[in-house]
């Protein structure tokens, strides 16, 4: 009996991991979550959450649970999915229009920011992944109650899983949340929208991407940039904490200005920062490369197409792959020489925003929002080899969102693949 029990446990453990290995999960705003078999290059399963706007999500480091944020107006829930069984566990209410729930590196928590405020307060939820219940709800008073539009965008965890970091667009502030205590531990004041965060590999520095310096009306005046903080100082210095350095992007003459996302190369030596430009035109084309030690800019590249958004790192560390909001061009950059190797068009529509790579680095799966499809890219030839339709037959929604196949703290770098 003991041997049988052990065999059953081994089978369950193997099945849990195998169920996600070799699978790219495609999140859709129409409430569908699709499971793409990376070897067969086809949809192998679907879960319908009943939510709307679920274009962003996060998987636990063990590959067992997926959290999808339903960000459409009138929605309040994060959809929780059992990945091995490919079933919906529950829809958990967290607050108005959950934006991007993010699992902590230790897998114990999910931090959730929200696009809308509630009764003049920013809402941040901390989910306990063991019970799949809301452990804490942190409500932060807004100073500016005249803000119109989204309240926040993306988040990050410190690598020790102690702190969840999110932003407040109304006040241009960064909020550092003690996850275990469920309270604000520190706050940073910036001079523009803090859109994105990156934690250095050694957990010592917080890099904050600011869309641009704003005037009193909230209009971006210029200087899309990254501000770098020594993280330990932010916990004691208060809102007046100043960054150790702020570094404006170098743009081409006449280029529209709005910084978007950035990421470290896998060796940690360089930081890639992209200028998307404001919507709806998304005319940014600049990629800036910074030395992470000296913080000096070492390269300025201009890509084809327009609306550079996300810099993805191939698993072999060879390429930085950039995607676009305003076009369908994907750019492959040599991560050491900082030179454009090749550019390809992926599909016909605009907004190729998200990429996964197979663990062996031979394929990439690239989402195209307007085409409502995921495209397979041969990473050896750097060319598109197949289109995978992800939309429903009636094609009512154009809502192909994030693709993911591992654990991410920021979604451009897969920090853990599943065997």
- The predicted-structure confidence for 167-214, as pLDDT tens digits, reads as follows 999 999 999 999 999 999 999 999 999 999 999 999 999 999 999 998
Asked if the model's pLDDT at residue 12 lies above 70, the reply is no
Mapped onto helix, strand or coil, the DSSP state of residue 119 is coil
Name the helix (H) or strand (E) containing 234. Answer: helix 231-237
Are the C-beta atoms of residues 163 and 191 closer than 8 Å to each other?
no
The closest of 58, 47, 59 to 85, measured between CA atoms, is: 47
Chain CA centroid to CA 270, Å:
19
Q: Which pTM value belongs to this model?
A: 0.94
**Each residue's pLDDT tens digit, 286-300:** 999 999 999 999 999
Mapped onto helix, strand or coil, the DSSP state of residue 300 is strand
- What's the confidence (pLDDT) of residue 149? 84
The residues near 59 (Cβ < 8 Å, ≥ 6 apart) are 20, 25, 65, 66, 67, 83, 103, 404, 406, 407, 408
Asked if the model's pLDDT at residue 22 lies above 70, the reply is yes
Confidence of residue 395 (pLDDT cuts 50, 70, 90): low
**Each residue's pLDDT tens digit, 355-373:** 999 999 999 999 999 999 9
For residue 147, what are the CA distances in angstroms to 16, 28, 120, 142, 221?
45, 28, 10, 9, 18
**Each residue's pLDDT tens digit, 97-150:** 999 999 999 999 999 999 999 999 999 999 999 999 999 999 999 998 778 888
Mean residue pLDDT across the chain: 92
Interatomic CA distance for residues 226 and 251, integer angstroms: 14
Least-confidence region, from 56-60, 145-149, 280-284, 314-318:
145-149
Q: What is the average per-residue pLDDT within 225-250?
A: 92
Helical spans, DSSP H, in 102-196: none
- What's the confidence (pLDDT) of residue 73? 86
């Amino acid at each position: 009996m003991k041997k049988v029990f052990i065999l059953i446990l081994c089978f369950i453990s193997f099945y849990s991991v195998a169920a996600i290995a070799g699978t790219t999960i495609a999140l859709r705003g129409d409430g569908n979550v699709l499971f793409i078999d990376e070897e067969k290059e086809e949809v192998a399963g679907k879960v319908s959450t009943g939510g709307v706007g679920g274009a962003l999500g996060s998987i636990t480091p063990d590959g067992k649970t997926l959290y999808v944020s339903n960000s459409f107006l009138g929605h309040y829930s994060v959809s929780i999915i059992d990945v091995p069984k490919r079933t919906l566990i529950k829809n958990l209410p967290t607050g108005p229009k959950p934006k991007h729930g993010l699992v902590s590196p230790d897998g114990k928590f999910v931090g959730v920011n929200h696009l809308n405020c509630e009764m003049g307060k920013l809402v941040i939820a901390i989910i306990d992944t063991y019970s799949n219940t809301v452990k804490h709800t942190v409500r932060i008073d807004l100073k500016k109650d005249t803000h119109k539009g989204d309240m926040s965008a993306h988040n990050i965890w410190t690598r020790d899983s102690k702190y969840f970091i999110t932003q407040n667009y109304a006040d241009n502030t960064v909020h550092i949340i003690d996850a275990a205590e469920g309270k604000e531990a520190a706050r940073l004041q910036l001079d523009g929208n803090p859109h994105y965060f990156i934690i250095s590999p050694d957990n010592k520095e917080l890099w904050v991407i600011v869309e641009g310096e704003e005037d009193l009306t909230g209009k971006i005046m210029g200087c899309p940039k990254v501000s770098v903080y020594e993280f330990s100082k932010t916990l004691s210095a208060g809102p007046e904490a100043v960054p150790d350095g702020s570094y404006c992007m170098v743009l081409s003459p006449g280029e529209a200005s709005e910084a978007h996302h950035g990421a470290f190369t896998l060796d940690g030596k360089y930081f890639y920062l992209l200028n998307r430009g404001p919507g709806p035109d998304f005319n940014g084309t600049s990629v800036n490369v910074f030395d992470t030690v000296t913080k000096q800019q070492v390269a300025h590249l201009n890509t084809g197409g327009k609306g550079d958004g996300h810099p993805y790192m191939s698993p072999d560390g060879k390429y930085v792959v950039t995607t676009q909001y305003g076009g369908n061009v994907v750019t492959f950059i040599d991560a050491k020489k900082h030179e454009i190797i090749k550019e390809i068009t992926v599909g016909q529509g605009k907004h190729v925003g998200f990429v996964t790579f197979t663990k062996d680095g031979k394929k990439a799966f690239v989402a195209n929002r307007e085409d409502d499809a995921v495209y397979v890219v041969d990473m050896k030839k750097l060319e598109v080899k197949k289109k995978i339709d992800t939309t429903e037959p009636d094609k009512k929604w154009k809502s192909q969102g994030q693709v993911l196949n591992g654990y991410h703290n920021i979604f451009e770098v897969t920090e853990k693949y599943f065997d």
